[in-house]
Structure 1
Amino acid sequence: MDLDLAQVRAFVATADRLHFGQAAEQLAVSQQALSKRIARLESELGVQLFLRGGHAVELTEAGRRFLEPARQTLAQGDRAVAAARHVERPLRIDYWGHLFAPMRTLAPVIDHLARAVAVSVETGPGRDLPGVLDALARTATDVGFGRVHGADGGQGAELAGYAHRLVRLEPVDVVVGDRHRLADRFEARPDELRDSVLWSPAALERLDFYRRFAEHFDISAEAGTANLGIGHFLEQVAADPTRFALVPADLELPDRAHVRSLPLVEPTPLYAWSLLWRAADPHPGVEPLLRAFAELGGRSRWLEYRPGRDWLPAGDVSEVSVTSSTSEDSSN
């Protein structure tokens, strides 16, 4: 049989939302037209793709098997149309880890990429790693940029079908209020924070790096109220002399927050930034992006890691080993 891409698109939109009305609205068609397309697709395939009961919609086993190949079929169709029309679609990058200021790393790489090979890039914020994985699965974005915690961080199964590469290890500072007992110091050690409270902008189960830092160094942690931006978050840190936060080294802090940033030493925590993309049929801009990170990161020593003097969560340490092995292989 020849697949009708309009029918396949109707199926994928409905599978993503499990709601016929929302899928029809997304595709700008009537719900009746959407239902007819899916019914014709099911008839031609000879299988039922959805279980329909009242207001609930669920994928059948056949629907679950069909979903990923259907996504790939639509992506290939979009690429075929773009190729025929000589349309070069911009490389879309979604980033997360907003407290650690991802654009500080991403922006110079994008500038370097534009100058070197004239690749057009669009960027946008993603909520978190699961949210960006969902956008990648729906082909709503091409690349994710943030901290990718794999099997050690509970994302092993979700990462199946995706490729990722570590591109930067960024030193992390401690931020304390003016009244904190370490406020007049020039640097601090993680073990000196055990009588303080790690102030988190969200629940720890959502912030894997914060959670693992607190567990490893035996430090208490608490989550703040609604996240209203870096300024509000740092004001909450300054409000209590026992609180501290973790932010990228050299991050410019707002003056009104009444906080100080101190380098952490013995060991220095590192925040691992990675790129994440679909392993099958990646956007043509992925390879130039990887090269741009390698060139700029090589000059800036972004992947420098000193065991014993630096600290990384266990899953991130395994990524450093993989990256080192890859670099050695490519140089031989």
Structure 2
Amino acid sequence: MSFDLRHLEGFVAVAEELHFGRAAARLHIAQPALSQQIQRLESSLGVDLLIRERRRTRLSEAGRAFLVEARRTLAQAEIARTVARRAGRGELGRLRGGYVPTTSSKLFLAILADFQRRHPEVQVELRELPLGSLAAPLHDDVVDVTFVARLGEITCLGPDIAVHELSAEHFVAALPAGHPLSRDPEIELARLAQEDFVMLAPELCTEWHETMISTCELAGFAPRITHHAREISTQLMFVAAGLGVTLVPASAQALRGQDVAFVPLAGPSPRITSTVLWRARNDLPVLRRFLDVMAYQPDIDP
């Protein structure tokens, strides 16, 4: 015969009261039911925990030893209850976040940092994702929530993926600080037709590379690409050194200071959308907490 927490609670009450009637009243149960619980507990253990005398009840040696462990077990059980309830409310647990490392990802990371400040007992795990990633990491259960940056609108992800748009920004021209066009309020892209271009390596994201090429072609020229980089920060480093010009999201202005000029493009330009994705049917409590923080986040300049 096994015993459970009810038996331990009953024994501790009797051990502390040394009176079945008072212990039963304390537990809000009938005295006969409490007596049966103690008898079952003793039968399960194969020892007498209590010495029952005519006018009093006292603990046996086994009872005194068992009382220490019973109290410890009940205390640990209460901790377990509290942890389970807090985890069920999303106050504890683990949130796996994925992000595409673009300059606009600072929006997502700022919200994630705010979430971490509000819920310090939630373990936040971050995974860097390849440029061009969309819902695959969610479908593969690699992450619970992910930030993606996509050229144009994000569509055709399926009904199982929830979408929250954080921001949308246009591309701008990045020129060396001393470039003749660097002080213009805006420029026609065609005026860069004779410039050397620094582009992101095409294998990083085919869509990104093709969009940059097609944008230039719509302006009437094929860009002369002289250098490739694997990060936007490296692109801007090349531009600052005078090795060429490039097109970057407007948020990239935060990466360089006086040595690069960022000039808006006149007319249509590519637009990058910053979006948070998660599985619509994911009922993970910590994810719900994160979505609440994100929903009430004040606007952050990209």
In the alignment, what sits opposite 2:143?
A: 141
Cα shift readout 1:259-310 (whole Å, capped 9, x = no counterpart): 322244545754210111123324333333334333325x4487xxxxxxxx
- Summarize the Cα distance change of 1:105–1:177 in structure 2 as closer, same or farther, 3 Å threshold: same
Structure 2 distance, partners of 1:238, 1:118, is 40
Does structure 1 conserve the Cα–Cα contact (< 8 Å) formed by 2:171 and 2:264?
yes
In the alignment, what sits opposite 2:238?
A: 236
1:184 aligns with 2:183: yes
Does structure 2 conserve the Cα–Cα contact (< 8 Å) formed by 1:176 and 1:261?
yes
How far the C-alpha of 1:84 sits from its partner, in A, is 9.2
Cα shift readout 1:9-49 (whole Å, capped 9, x = no counterpart): xxxxxxxxxxxxxxxxxxxxxxxxxxxxxxxxxxxxxxxxx
Q: Percent identity?
A: 18
Structure 2 distance, partners of 1:185, 1:198, is 19
In the alignment, what sits opposite 2:251?
A: 249
SS for the counterpart of 1:251 is helix
Does structure 2 conserve the Cα–Cα contact (< 8 Å) formed by 1:180 and 1:243?
no
Taking structure 2 as the reference length, the TM-score comes to 0.54
How far the C-alpha of 1:113 sits from its partner, in A, is 2.7
Does structure 2 conserve the Cα–Cα contact (< 8 Å) formed by 1:187 and 1:262?
yes
SS for the counterpart of 1:107 is helix
Match for residue 111 of structure 1 among 98, 110, 113: 113
Equivalenced residue count is: 212
Q: CA RMSD in A?
A: 4.0
Structure 2 distance, partners of 1:149, 1:301, is 19
Alignment of 1:1-332 (within 5 A): 88-96=92-100, 98-102=101-105, 104-116=106-118, 120=122, 121-130=124-133, 133-148=135-150, 156=156, 159=158, 161-178=160-177, 180-196=179-195, 198-203=197-202, 206-209=205-208, 211-216=210-215, 218-219=218-219, 220-221=222-223, 222=225, 224-225=227-228, 227=230, 229-238=231-240, 243-249=245-251, 251-254=253-256, 258-267=259-268, 270-297=271-298, 299-300=299-300
In the alignment, what sits opposite 2:56?
A: none
Does structure 2 conserve the Cα–Cα contact (< 8 Å) formed by 1:202 and 1:223?
no
If you compute each CA radius of gyration, which structure gives the higher value, 1 or 2?
Answer: 2
Structure 2 distance, partners of 1:92, 1:146, is 15
- Summarize the Cα distance change of 1:290–1:269 in structure 2 as closer, same or farther, 3 Å threshold: farther
Q: What residue ranges of structure 1 are gaps of 5+ in the alignment?
A: 1-81, 303-332
- What residue identity is the alignment partner of 1:177? P
How far the C-alpha of 1:167 sits from its partner, in A, is 1.8
How far the C-alpha of 1:94 sits from its partner, in A, is 0.6
Does structure 2 conserve the Cα–Cα contact (< 8 Å) formed by 1:168 and 1:274?
yes
> Which structure exhibits the higher relative contact order, with contacts defined as CA atoms closer than 8 Å and separated by 6 or more residues?
2
Q: Which range moves more in the overlay, 189-198 or 275-284?
A: 189-198
How far the C-alpha of 1:201 sits from its partner, in A, is 1.3
Structure 2 distance, partners of 1:169, 1:119, is 32
Taking structure 1 as the reference length, the TM-score comes to 0.50
- Summarize the Cα distance change of 1:242–1:250 in structure 2 as closer, same or farther, 3 Å threshold: closer
Cα shift readout 1:43-78 (whole Å, capped 9, x = no counterpart): xxxxxxxxxxxxxxxxxxxxxxxxxxxxxxxxxxxx
Cα shift readout 1:85-129 (whole Å, capped 9, x = no counterpart): 959332111101x24251x21232123334556673332211134
SS for the counterpart of 1:135 is helix
